[in-house]
């Protein structure tokens, strides 16, 4: 699950560089936005070796913001600051940013300086991605918002087993490839095996689909996708084809719970086809264990039941 929330009304920041005007404007915005606490918690002024206090206005009240000479001194006294805004010049912004990336409590770092050499910028971004749990905004001002945990693509693999509570077994495999551009591929295959009372195989078939999908809505707690593609049923002599429309969602109410649901509508040859799935799972270290149910309607044949399995989030 990706965390899309960069800041909230309780986030406080460390300002690197004694930028009086910028600090006051941030406090003015806090007052207009109705924040309960100022967003600026501390200031770094490398030339103030003994530290100090900066007087500013928060609404109609005067407040004193502590000044420190180093980042380490500031974070030692303010362990809840979650972001740093780096106003250092392009000559020193690289060193300051690299130091800030190593501070565990910073969830995001904004670099204001322009003119940082491209080689240094690449090193900064590479280190942010390597650390993997920070958002880096900048350096420079041209399309340099970098979610450090973001990748070009993500893969989700699922192994599932279902049973209709009578004599039909339904092992399935699914794969979902999504990209940062919101388009991706989704495919699922189910093996239906009907057994007699003495466990002999009475009938069996495979049904699968391949779809192009678009993640049309996303936030910190939900992702929704839809798409279309081909429905397939391989046979001994031929492959029956059909159209498939898919619609799915993943809801993350609280960590580590996830609720997933999907529905596929289409046809297989001349037969109407409907397939729905709904599961509740728990995720630990990229591995999800889930349980729920699914149902199939193929022509006038309905097959439902319980299902569960494992899902790997890569």
Report whether pLDDT(149) > 50: no
- β-bridge pairing 257-268 and 271-284: antiparallel
Q: Helix/strand/coil (H, E, C) string of 259-311?
A: EEEEEEEEEECCEEEEEEEEEEEEEECCEEEEEEEEEEEECCEEEEEEEEEEE
Alpha carbons 122 and 94: distance in angstroms, whole number: 11
Instruction: Tell which CATH architecture fits domain 153-313.
Output: Beta Barrel (2.40)
pTM: 0.57
Report whether pLDDT(200) > 90: no
Report whether pLDDT(76) > 80: yes
Asked which of 46-60, 170-184, 190-204 is least confident by mean pLDDT, the reply is: 190-204
CA–centroid distance for 298 within its chain: 35
Domain boundaries along the sequence of the chain: 13-147, 153-313
In whole numbers, what is the pLDDT of the chain averaged over residues?
88
pLDDT bin (cut points 50, 70, 90) of residue 144 is very low
Domain 13-147 sits in CATH at 3.40.50.720
Q: What is the pLDDT of residue 65?
A: 94
Alpha carbons 83 and 26: distance in angstroms, whole number: 14
Closest residue by Cα to residue 37 from 91, 82, 1: 82
């Amino acid at each position: 699950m990706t965390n899309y929330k960069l800041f909230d009304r309780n986030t406080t920041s460390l300002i690197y560089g004694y930028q009086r005007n910028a600090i006051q404007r941030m406090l003015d915005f806090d007052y207009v936005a109705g924040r309960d606490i100022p967003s600026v918690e501390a200031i770094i002024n490398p030339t103030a070796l003994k530290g100090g206090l900066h007087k500013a206005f928060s609404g109609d009240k005067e407040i004193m913001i502590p000044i420190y000479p180093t980042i380490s001194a500031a974070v030692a006294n303010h362990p809840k600051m979650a972001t740093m805004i780096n106003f250092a010049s392009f000559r020193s912004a690289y060193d300051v940013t690299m130091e800030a990336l190593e501070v565990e409590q910073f969830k995001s770092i904004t670099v204001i300086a322009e003119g940082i050499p491209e080689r240094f910028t690449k090193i900064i971004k590479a280190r942010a991605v390597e650390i993997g749990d920070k958002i880096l905004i900048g350096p420079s001002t041209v399309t340099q918002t970098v979610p450090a945990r973001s990748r070009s693509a993500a893969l989700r693999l699922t192994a599932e087993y279902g049973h209709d509570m009578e004599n039909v077994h339904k092992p399935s495999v699914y794969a979902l490839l999504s990209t940062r551009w919101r388009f991706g591929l989704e495919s699922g295959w189910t093996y239906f095996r009907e057994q007699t009372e003495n466990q002999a195989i009475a009938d069996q078939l495979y049904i699968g689909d391949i779809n192009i999908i678009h993640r049309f809505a996303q936030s910190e707690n939900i992702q929704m996708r839809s798409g279309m593609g081909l429905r397939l049923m391989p046979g001994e002599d031929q492959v029956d084809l059909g159209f498939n429309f898919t619609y799915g969602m993943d809801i993350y109410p609280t960590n580590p719970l996830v609720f997933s649901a999907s529905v596929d509508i289409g046809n297989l040859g001349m037969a109407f086809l409907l397939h729905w799935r709904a599961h509740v799972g728990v995720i630990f270290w990229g591995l999800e264990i889930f349980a729920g149910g699914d149902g199939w309607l193929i022509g006038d044949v309905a097959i439902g039941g319980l299902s569960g399995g494992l899902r790997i989030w890569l």
